[in-house]
């Protein structure tokens, strides 16, 4: 028995479209991160990016549970003295709803160059339209 290790030539990437309308943010993000990493494939190799492309539409209609809409904040620092800024989740959802899903998924992928390569395969759009029709994406139904 030998351990299988995928090669760059063995990787076949698919394009998947996910409709985020009515889906819970955390559950949706966890399943997207799994697909971006390639853990849903039998050819998964930990040190390689074997995942698929994911296109998320209707990001503005994602569901948040509990008191997260009022209490959750995102932190950013400019690295200058006094440069700390806090952004509320409701404010981010109203101005840039795609960033909410991107930040949630980014926290679930590896924090190295492999994780950055995986995040480039995530495309998030606030509305129902996306410019990736030429890739012939498959509709992916998530039970969330």
Query: For 19-57, b where at least 16 C-beta lie within 10 A, e where not — what string?
Result: bbeebebeebbebbbebbbbeebeeebeebbbbbbbbbb
Q: In this predicted model, what pLDDT tens digit does every residue of 44-96 receive, in sequence order?
A: 999 999 999 999 999 999 999 999 999 999 999 999 999 999 999 999 999 99
Q: In angstroms, rounded to a whole number, what is the distance separating the alpha carbons of residues 108 and 98?
A: 16
Number of residues that this document lists for the chain: 144
Rg (CA), the chain: 17
CATH of domain 12-139: 3.90.1180.10
Look up tokens 């994780």; give the residue.
Answer: 115
Q: In this predicted model, what pLDDT tens digit does every residue of 9-21 receive, in sequence order?
A: 999 999 999 999 9
């Amino acid at each position: 028995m030998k351990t299988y290790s995928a090669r760059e030539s063995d990787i076949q990437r698919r394009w998947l479209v996910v409709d985020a309308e009515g889906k819970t943010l955390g559950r949706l993000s966890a399943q997207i991160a799994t697909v971006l990493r390639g853990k849903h494939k039998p050819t998964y190799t930990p040190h390689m990016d074997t995942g698929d492309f994911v296109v998320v539409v209707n990001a503005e209609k994602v569901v948040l549970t509990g008191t997260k809409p009022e209490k959750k904040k995102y932190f950013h620092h400019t690295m200058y003295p006094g440069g700390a800024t806090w952004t509320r989740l409701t404010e981010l959802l109203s101005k840039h709803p795609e960033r909410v899903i991107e930040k949630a998924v980014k926290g679930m992928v590896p924090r190295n160059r492999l994780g950055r390569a995986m995040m480039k395969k995530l495309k998030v759009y606030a509305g129902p339209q996306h410019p990736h029709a030429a890739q012939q994406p498959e509709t992916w139904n998530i039970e969330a």
